[in-house]
With several copies, the nearest count.
Chain A
Amino acid sequence: MPISIIDEFKIRRLEVLDESGEADAELMPPFDGNEIKKIFERIILARTFNQRALSLQREGRLGTYASILGQEASQVGSAIAFEQSDWIFPSFRETGVLLALGYPAWQLFRYWSGDERGMSAPDGLNIFPMSVPVGSQIPHATGTAMAMKIRGAKSASAVYFGDGASSRGDFHEALNLAGVFKAPAVFLCQNNQWAISVPRHLQTAAKTIAQRAFGYGIEGIQVDGNDVFAVYRATKDALNRAKSGQGATLIECFTYRLDDHTTSDDSSRYRSAEEVEEWKKKEPLIRLRLFMKKKGLWTQAYEDGVAGNALSEIDKAISQAENYPPPDKADIIRFTNARLTLRQKKELKTLGWEK
């Protein structure tokens, strides 16, 4: 047969919780009421951090900040699937992931105020500093996953990145390497439809990002990124595959960036208010509330209590961050390498930074 079909691929999309708050019984992860409440509380915490960060930035108390509004389900839903020994490689828009994993909020405020010390994850939390060069962190996750495999660890590494990042060569090389080495890696693309002003359809002519997985011989799936249960399920499945030696997975969380790209951006220059309004109706908290209400897990009073707790936790973190002594200038030099060079010792002296 001169034109033959040598292979076929189907791009799957996973949805569990629909916009009316109805969950698919078969696919619904086996969460009990308390676990679901904890998910809700983590989303509220992330959103509270986000709101406070945005206002602090406006007040000049933080530097440029990247809002996660609308992406909380993609972030919290995936984060809660990890185990302590897994490694996480975040981009700069992963506040929800980091908080859900227990990264101290005050440290995150320090980071966003332009202080390296905020990037030093507490011991026991294997969270790499957020990567600023878009996509460049993806190969690190492949490497860590390869190392886990070499060491025989039953762990996985996961990396977060955006739709924009998926256009970078780093994405390609990292996913291909992960495929070849059957590395226990999970590639979590947060497709929030925009890379600053570039909409998804101008980022790539492919219909989905998930379908790229086939080009690397790894698993790929798109999930409704505003559906916290679907994101959890896909991530958990991917982690299980990874840890049982079945290799890597690319998960495309189909979500939306409701705010400006960062506090330096003005998204009204390039997208319509209508588009944003449409997506606001789909934001993750609405459907989770509906679901919880049906299950008797949600009342307004409950949410008010959660929000109040979150606000006081975040405000405590802010004052902790703001009351911390400013960084030592000598640290600029001191952490370059394990040991100071003679030149650096001289510099510390000349600059008057020596203690």
Chain B
Amino acid sequence: MAKLNIVQAINSALKNEMKRNSDVVLLGEDIGRDGGVFRVTEGLLEIFGPERVIDTPLAELGIIGSAIGMAAYGLKPVAEIQFMAFSYAGLEQIFSHAGRIRSRSRGRFTCPIVVRMPYGIGIKAPELHSESAEALFCHMPGIKVVVPSSPYNAKGLLTSALRDPDPVIFLEPSRLYRSIKTDVPDEDYAIPLGKAAIYQEGKDITVVAWGAMLHRAAEASAGFDAEIIDLMTLKPFDEEAILNSVRKTGRLVIAHEATRSGGLGAEIAALVAEEAVMHLKAPVIRVAGPEAVTPMAKLEDAYMPQIDRIRKAFATVMEF
């Protein structure tokens, strides 16, 4: 067992699964010789060769669209998009094809692709390198959406994604890529999709977060008896875990980087408003990005919900 960061953990999941399953092929810009702009695929070209680690032209629509064709034929393609914003060019392929093909062909064709991409605020890269648009993918049917928060769960969740029979959008919090190291087993292991983890038990406040915000929420919880749920799979998310916790605590705070309006926090709040509202001792609070586009580097930290904002939300629901 080695101490790995998320980049290495993902690399390890890819490597193990590529060894186990010869149908797995990777494709994307700069993933081969360069090992990916974040070095996630480093070394894989050397092991698996250019037919399984495919450097593509600069064409996100084409990458995702051809992955769909590969998957239909029987491969297990894993597409890397360099940053979340660049997946927008491929949204039609994801929404109108990847997410629909099983349904529209009544199971005759399927689309077991994985689309990996870094997302979120925090590395002070250029414009449009810090998007948190996970809600787009979570809304459209037929697609699973996964966000790891640690090296350990990054490997386990990606392994599940790589074995899933349906399209999975795998969002990698770029802020965390190299900032946390944990023990990660060398061998493969799968963390089931659709199940949240209780990151920290607590009695007073249910906190739902994922990716980089999970760690902010955890830091913010000092002095509060907060139950922190690491959602991990955003679609379909673990409704029971949230509802059980809220029924116990009576208070819900959701923290995410994305702009508040229509973010995934809305769906979580709505679920509780529908199914556990009478357990609430205080209003739900979403601590989220403001109604604005993610700014460039100088202001990106200001956009991302700060620990003091989360603490204020905790205090507010406790005092209510």
Contacts and interface: CB of A to CB of B under 8 A. Distances in A.
Q: Report A-B touching, CB under 8 Å.
A: yes
Contact of B62 (A89, A148, A174): A174
B278 interface: no
A95 B106 CA distance: 20
B174 to A, nearest CB: 12
B217 interface: no
B107 A173 contact: no
B57 to A, nearest CB: 4
B89 A169 contact: yes
A131 B69 CA distance: 13
Given A129-B104, A332-B302, 16 more contacts: A64-B124, A89-B69, A92-B126, A114-B126, A119-B105, A144-B72, A164-B58, A168-B59, A174-B66, A177-B62, A197-B55, A265-B37, A326-B298, A335-B106, A337-B142, A347-B290
Interface in B81-127: 85-86, 88-89, 92-93, 96-97, 101-110, 124-127
A202 B104 CA distance: 33
Contacts of A198: 29-30, 55-58
B29 to A, nearest CB: 7
Contacts of A140: 65-66, 68-69, 72, 97
Contacts of A134: 58, 86
Interface of A: 63-64, 87, 89, 92, 113-117, 119-121, 128-129, 131-151, 157, 164-165, 167-170, 173-174, 176-177, 180-181, 195-198, 202-204, 264-265, 269-270, 326-327, 329, 331-333, 335-338, 341-344, 347, 351
Contacts of A119: 104-106, 108
30 contacts: A64-B125, A64-B126, A113-B298, A114-B126, A116-B103, A121-B108, A128-B109, A131-B97, A133-B96, A136-B65, A136-B89, A136-B96, A139-B62, A139-B65, A140-B72, A143-B66, A151-B74, A170-B89, A176-B62, A177-B56, A198-B55, A203-B58, A270-B33, A327-B298, A329-B299, A332-B292, A336-B142, A337-B165, A338-B102, A343-B261
A269 B57 contact: no
Contact of A116 (B34, B62, B296): B296
Interface of B: 25, 29-30, 32-35, 37, 51-52, 54-62, 64-75, 77, 85-86, 88-89, 92-93, 96-97, 101-110, 124-129, 141-142, 144, 164-166, 194, 236, 239-240, 261, 290-293, 295-300, 302-303, 309
B30 A196 contact: yes
A338 B104 contact: no
Contacts of B54: 146, 181
Contacts of B105: 116, 119-121, 128-129
A143 B30 contact: no
A43 to B, nearest CB: 25
Contacts of A164: 57-58
A143 B77 contact: yes
A269 B42 CA distance: 11
Contacts of A89: 69
B239 A343 contact: yes
A176 B65 CA distance: 13
A113 B297 CA distance: 7
B200 to A, nearest CB: 24
* 8 A-B pairs closest in CB distance: A143-B69, A139-B65, A114-B297, A173-B62, A143-B66, A197-B34, A140-B69, A164-B58
Contacts of A351: 290, 309
A313 B85 CA distance: 36
A265 B133 CA distance: 26
A195 to B, nearest CB: 5
Contacts of B128: 132-133
Contacts of B125: 63-64, 264
B149 to A, nearest CB: 22
Given A139-B65, A196-B29, A335 B103 contact: yes
Contacts of B299: 114, 116, 327, 329, 331-332
A136 B52 CA distance: 24
Contacts of A196: 29-30, 34, 37
Contact of A135 (B58, B67, B194): B58
Nearest to A270: B33
Contact of A114 (B64, B66, B103, B296): B296
Contact of A147 (B33, B37, B69, B88): B69
Nearest to A163: B58
Interface centre among B93, B127, B144 (most CB of A within 10 A): B127
B65 A173 contact: yes
Contacts of B295: 116, 331-332
Nearest to A140: B69
A338 B66 contact: no
B296 A115 contact: yes
Contacts of A343: 236, 239, 261, 291
B56 to A, nearest CB: 7
Nearest to B86: A133
A217 B25 CA distance: 25
A174 B110 contact: no
B98 to A, nearest CB: 10
A89 B67 CA distance: 14
A354 B202 CA distance: 35
A97 B224 CA distance: 55
A114 B297 CA distance: 5
A331 B298 CA distance: 12
A65 B300 CA distance: 18
